[in-house]
Structure 1
């Protein structure tokens, strides 16, 4: 016998002795009976599924981590999933059918409960707890794999206390409840992402349990020795799951890097202006990255958006869509003080939304008011907020872009309002906006408006500047109380003189 063959034989003997020690004391038939008993469809399983699904969806809508963890602990879905893994190991088709039936009925019941409570609830805005379960990544797959190994080990070694940690780690019920929330609100992106997370957890746990059971010597009676093809099949399934999850993780990594690069670039672009990033939203979809930022600054930087886009394109080696809004304020560091506001999620979702708005508005306000459904918000700025009309107008547009589904109104303090340049579309839009926020019925006098252009034959005549201004006021809900505004001065041309009632 050669030295190589002798070494290989000794290695195999060591491996056999190691596996014998590992499997010593494992009663395969008793363990399989216990697994199948906990993985079947019973009255207790249905009741606990119903209760845990109700608690999960309520906790998600309230954005309460403590309530969501309670639903995780109560969820009985771990039993059928581990039973599914063992039935695959033992090639027990009857038990496989039983565990799949229990999983299917449990999933349907939980989904029905979540949809019903979502439809009946006035809370329709996705919370942080809901959004956290809509973008699974490769790390979620690893968590599910290790949780499946731990669950199977706990069953085989009868370590019941380990199951509690497994239940929290895998969080099987909250993704199902999130699917129900997405379907109940008609948001298929939320429903699809959460369903992908649930399926990732289910498949990964079941296959990890299969590998663990095989390691401990569980196999069909017709197969006295382990078959390599079974392990290869499991690895291939893991590989198929890993591909899309790895892409999701890569997208999250790109967003994190883009966020850091944006903050660094803004600090350099506004180096001499004493600025602060007040709002920042970064999204990565495919090969495209979009960045939306709101900067509070003492002085405007004319080419800031173009410079930021150029910096991000060079740093991220891809084309970046950039929207940069600037607000001139007296104290940009007020944003830092606002960010230090309480981060604790309030049980009341309306209070939670109010806290988020408070954090997003780093300026002095008289009040931040919301309706009972959290669909409309009114922010009353104080005179010492340090914002002119243009900055307050930009703030409202930025908040509406960030808080999708919430109609945000920013009301600036009433201030002297002299005239409007009818030839400036931005000035006309800001003026109509301010008058509507003040609920004013102004008196208007038009100062020698420029005549409308001569109509071109075959084309619809275009309204003049005066008609455009009146139409903008009407669209904003502003009614003119009369045409006896302040008198026009010498040299006034194409202006609208405004008098507030």
Structure 2
């Protein structure tokens, strides 16, 4: 056997690792540091409370920056690492200390979240909360790789790396979401967030134990002890992989189903049709799909034919219903046809013209004629459009423009429904979107209510408020803290025609 071959023999590699890596580690110093930071202390309790409170605020706002601030404190990381090192060295005293600190700290964080959420006026499931209720295998892999980095950083004395690991794993936010689920009696949120926390905690502890063994901790243990440690790691990761893998499979199926359903629905309807809204509930039996299609031509019997086609594509029964909303095939086509017809017809009386204008606006707005306010003297028409699924403020503004084209002799004011949300405004990057300001000004003028600009600096609030007012809208600056944002004030009584 030549020297090149011998260099790769396990015995030679093991000896090289022991001489050049393991012997360079200060094992006593690392164990002393872990023991000092992994147990219960006043500092630990303080950090638990502060981190949980900051996490709750970040989840409810929602704000990624605030959540990162809570993750940087990372009070739960060291008890979990301590638990891993206790498993690596079979130090049952250290295992009990670290496990007790982890359990009590977790209970404190959950109880604090339950109390604060119970008295909070805001109990909305935000995007940050929802994002921590569906853990997948990807979360397990993140925890696994981050624990390797964290164990290495601790053993080699590279403290800066631990900060990045704390951000990547995120232990406190899932615990706070567990408290949110308890406070709001939401089992889905509770169970999903608890699974995410357990995935992170168990994976970190066991991976830290394996990294510690690799760096020579627990060298006094027998091969049998090492075998049990490996079995524990494989069994725990295997058990966690079952629900996490099922969740990943479900999410992947939903993504594929969304794409396939959109393609099949779009092919069924004529050119110019567009899918406005689609919701898929694959947990229902049969799978439930609800959609809104804006189409220039109503397709008779579409639900049954599409349900059969989607059932063949998904390999399971599908309960499908498509709300078809007829639109003009091209802008102004319906209005042009109305004008051409009017040119050949006898000129109607003033009363008939008023009634026809009211009827046309009611048809466009999707409301009854008695909901249209008319001022024949000023030639004004005023109404609030019906709620149309999937239609945004911009869509309602286009609806008003369409009504104005159809009624060129009238001044048309078509207000959007009061429950339509304001469009997002990119104001945190130092930019103000002029189109969003135009839209907010138009909607506030139509609904007769103010856009409330809150948070940020006084100069920014005043600038946005002035910009909306200069566009004919209604806005008021509110001296609130936090991120710069805007929202509707409660609607006021509409003016009478």
TM-score range, shorter chain: 0.5 to 0.7
State the shift of 1:361 in Å.
Answer: 2.1
State the shift of 1:105 in Å.
Answer: 1.3
Q: Are the counterparts in 2 of residues 276 and 297 from structure 1 also a CA contact under 8 Å?
A: yes
Q: Which is further off, 299-308 or 28-37?
A: 299-308
SS of the equivalent of 2:24 reads coil
SS of the equivalent of 1:296 reads strand
Counterpart selection for 1:305 from 303, 306, 310: 303
Q: Where in structure 2 are the equivalents of 1:101-500 lying within 5 Å?
A: 101-219=100-218, 221-223=220-222, 227-272=226-271, 274-285=272-283, 289-330=287-328, 360-362=390-392, 382=400, 384=402
Inter-partner Cα distance in structure 2 for 1:150 and 1:174? 21
State the shift of 1:183 in Å.
Answer: 1.1
Structure-2 change in CA distance of 1:136 and 1:298 (3 Å): same
Q: Which is further off, 225-234 or 150-159?
A: 225-234
Query: Over residues 259-300 of structure 1, what are the superposed CA-to-partner deviations in whole Å (9 max), with x where a residue is unaligned?
Result: 00011112101133x122212222333886432222222222
Inter-partner Cα distance in structure 1 for 2:109 and 2:329? 50
Structure-2 change in CA distance of 1:300 and 1:133 (3 Å): same
SS of the equivalent of 2:88 reads helix
State the shift of 1:93 in Å.
Answer: 0.9
State the shift of 1:116 in Å.
Answer: 1.5
Query: Over residues 126-164 of structure 1, what are the superposed CA-to-partner deviations in whole Å (9 max), with x where a residue is unaligned?
Result: 111111111111111111111111111111011111111
SS of the equivalent of 1:307 reads helix
Inter-partner Cα distance in structure 2 for 1:225 and 1:71? 41
Find the counterpart in structure 2 of residue 27 from structure 1.
26
State the shift of 1:363 in Å.
Answer: 5.9
Query: Over residues 178-236 of structure 1, what are the superposed CA-to-partner deviations in whole Å (9 max), with x where a residue is unaligned?
Result: 11111111111111110111011110110110111111111163548963232122112
- Count residues in correspondence: 354
Inter-partner Cα distance in structure 1 for 2:277 and 2:44? 46
Q: Which sections of structure 2, spanning at least 5 residues, go unmatched?
A: 332-386, 405-415, 421-445, 447-496
Structure-2 change in CA distance of 1:155 and 1:143 (3 Å): same
Find the counterpart in structure 1 of residue 78 from structure 2.
79
SS of the equivalent of 1:280 reads strand
Query: Over residues 326-353 of structure 1, what are the superposed CA-to-partner deviations in whole Å (9 max), with x where a residue is unaligned?
Result: 22234899xxxxxxxxxxxxxxxxxxxx
Q: Which is further off, 9-18 or 232-241?
A: 9-18
Find the counterpart in structure 2 of residue 467 from structure 1.
none
Inter-partner Cα distance in structure 2 for 1:38 and 1:99? 9
Q: Are the counterparts in 1 of residues 142 and 169 from structure 2 also a CA contact under 8 Å?
A: yes
Inter-partner Cα distance in structure 1 for 2:166 and 2:35? 18
Inter-partner Cα distance in structure 2 for 1:285 and 1:320? 11
Inter-partner Cα distance in structure 2 for 1:358 and 1:212? 57
Task: Give the aligned CA root-mean-square deviation in angstroms.
Answer: 3.3
State the shift of 1:76 in Å.
Answer: 0.8
SS of the equivalent of 1:151 reads helix
Inter-partner Cα distance in structure 2 for 1:224 and 1:313? 55
Inter-partner Cα distance in structure 1 for 2:182 and 2:10? 56
Q: Which sections of structure 1, spanning at least 5 residues, go unmatched?
A: 334-356, 368-380, 387-394, 400-412, 414-500
State the shift of 1:19 in Å.
Answer: 4.2
Structure-2 change in CA distance of 1:148 and 1:124 (3 Å): same
Inter-partner Cα distance in structure 2 for 1:359 and 1:306? 22
Inter-partner Cα distance in structure 2 for 1:148 and 1:34? 17
SS of the equivalent of 1:33 reads helix
State the shift of 1:168 in Å.
Answer: 1.0
Find the counterpart in structure 2 of residue 53 from structure 1.
52
Q: Are the counterparts in 2 of residues 364 and 382 from structure 1 also a CA contact under 8 Å?
A: no
State the shift of 1:382 in Å.
Answer: 5.0
Inter-partner Cα distance in structure 2 for 1:26 and 1:224? 22
State the shift of 1:55 in Å.
Answer: 1.0
Inter-partner Cα distance in structure 1 for 2:106 and 2:8? 50
Find the counterpart in structure 1 of residue 68 from structure 2.
69
